[in-house]
Amino acid sequence: MNEKSPYEIRNFGISAHIDSGKTTLSERILFYTGKIHKIEEVRGKSGVGATMDFMDLEREKGITIQSAATFCQWKDMDMNLIDTPGHVDFTVEVERSLRVLDGAVLVLCSVSGVQSQSMTVDRQMRRYKVPRIAFINKMDRAGANPYRVCEQLREKLGHNARLIQIPIGAEDQFKGAIDLVEMQSYTYEGDNGENIVISPIPADLQEKAEEYRAILIDTVAEYDDELAEKYLDDKPISAEELKRAIRKGTLSLKFTPVMVGSAFKNKGVQHLLDAIVSYLPAPYEVRNEALDQDNKEAPVVLETNKDKPLVMLAFKLEDGRFGQLTYTRIYQGKVGRGDTVLNIVSGKKVKVSRLVKMNANEMVEVEEAKSGDIVAMFGVDCASGDTFTDGTLNYTMASIFVPNSVISLAISPKDKGTQSNFSKALNRFTKEDPTFRVHRDDESNETIISGMGELHLEIYVERMKREFNCEVIVGKPQVNFREAITQKAAMSYTHKKQTGGSGQFARIAGYMEPWEDCGDSNYIFEDDTVGGSIPRQFIPACEKGFAEQSKTGLLIGALVTGIKFVVDDGLYHPVDSSDLAFKLCSMAAFRESYADAKPVILEPIMKVGVEGPDEFQGVMMGLISQRRGVLTGTSGQGNYSQIEAEVPLSEMFGFSTDLRSATQGKGEFSMEFNRYAPVPRNIQEQMVEEYKKKRAAGT
């Protein structure tokens, strides 16, 4: 492989709401860059499936489950592409991809426009400061309107978005696009749209093209002084000058260029590739920081330079045919086959025995990779989010944002003989996916798996069966409720125990109160004692007691969140006081005062988007209302209705089946976690009674 400079690399991802055409677009990109020689469809009749959806489950369900990486070349530019899932249950795949990518393509449906998951993806892009190009796909669909979608980008997502192309025709008359930068017309011919025909702008669209070019220039002029001067003097502006201004605006995250096309109909993809080269950043143009562990985690800016010491991040793990496959992004330095690297998190040195570039599930061996590259290593034991260096630096990269799980299932192997495979599968999945969590319920003695939604857990149950030959018995889905207090309550408790010899003695006083800003923890602890009323060595034991007791609330045994514990007084005994005594005293003080703090049960509230034909709008609203849903917005596009609502997760089980039945299979919905909110009083009383009965039956 010819060595490329950091300018000649583009690392980008494709993200969107489910079913907007991400994987179809990826397939066309691979075809036009010569990576594949035959286009396969996501739900193709051949049964082969798209290249990037290589899992059997992905091909059966017609959705992307895992982010898939590939590399290709376009006009001498090396491209590392990651196709990400659109379903919110697999949102961590989007998170970890955007964490390591330099740019992104936000795909939008020309009919549905900005949808609920489009907003989620956009938030993720902002979190990691990823410049993006918007691609309005499915221009061949009935009701296609790119002008409305561009306006939605501005109104709903707050983008400074402008079309850099306008379509030639729409729906079944969609032929191509007019490039407002070059002011030329592009149409696509041949079986797969591989022949691009360049021609003058059609006379009936000339005036419209000039109008939208003026709007584009007016918007991007603020990012380029030279262009602004020419614009104010009413001088002609060349394509190169306009490209330069668009690039500056895009890289600064202040402008979003918008393109149009139809990946399925093979129109507009080649020009999207040109735009990726022209407007998305090269690795050296992105500011990447590491945390210096030898200097109190002070931020350090990394250089995209192969001659600097190595810093790379493991962002995704996969169980491959030859063992663990670790996807890494190299931010600084280089790594070669046979090199020894240091895992900063575990402190272990590992030898890089194999280094590969991935094309979905196919591998290409490489001898060396350098800063800016995305490669995979074999046989390296690590976890997702670990940082590797050459041993001369003690740097770590900030890891990804991991949302809390909202749904749980009790599972157990059907056959006791597969217990070993059952354990292996759970260990594998928790290592691969930070949003997949496993714990043991002490009361029921069951194994509980938790995740982001029904589909998320359903996929892992199916993978256990297929990949680990382990069928499981699945319990009823359980919602991850929380508890919280609503008012301040005083705490004062004395713990005494005398059992011959030295006893136990501790007394603490203070208060608990609601506290929103607890960071990554569910509680905050504050020591306000003075005068040695509680010796310093016992303070950690007090915190430990509160932390342990807060894991099991007294209403339904759920985790207590958003709570602050303050200890401001106490007593100790020189002989009978101990860590254990103060820990038990804190736990008892919590239990005794909890009711005074007026606790409530919190339930996960989901942001739900429902879409379907106008004729079913009333039915769809009724289904939401029946589930304690609150409508937050409605909109219509063509003859389609979009409904946005907030609905408790506990009420959403079976919604998919009910929606399909009520809309003759034409309705669809998406759902993501929004916030926790108190359950209604009558439901809380019912849940508390059920918990009491369960505990009584257990004892």
For the chain of 699 residues, list the mean pLDDT of each consecutive stretch of 10: 63 81 84 76 44 50 60 86 68 76 91 81 87 94 92 92 94 92 91 86 94 94 92 90 95 96 91 94 90 89 92 82 80 92 91 81 82 86 86 85 78 88 89 84 78 83 88 85 95 86 88 87 92 92 95 93 95 91 96 95 91 88 93 80 90 83 80 88 93 79
8 A C-beta contact, residue 263 and residue 28: yes
Its pTM stands at 0.72
Do 436 and 317 meet the contact criterion of CB atoms below 8 Å apart? Answer: no
Task: State residue 672's pLDDT score.
Answer: 79
Question: What pLDDT was estimated at residue 68?
Answer: 66
pLDDT at residue 50, as a whole number: 46
149 Cβ contact list (under 8 Å, min separation 6): 108, 109, 110, 113, 114, 136, 258
In the Cβ-directed half-sphere of 643, how many Cα atoms lie within 13 Å? 25
> Which run of H or of E encompasses 146?
helix 146-156
Angle ∠(138,143,148) on CA atoms, nearest 5: 85
Half-sphere exposure of residue 402: CA atoms within 13 angstroms, side-chain side? 15
pLDDT, residue 1, reads 41
Cα dist from 227 to 218, 219, 258, 675, whole Å: 10, 11, 20, 45
Strands 256-260 and 132-137: parallel
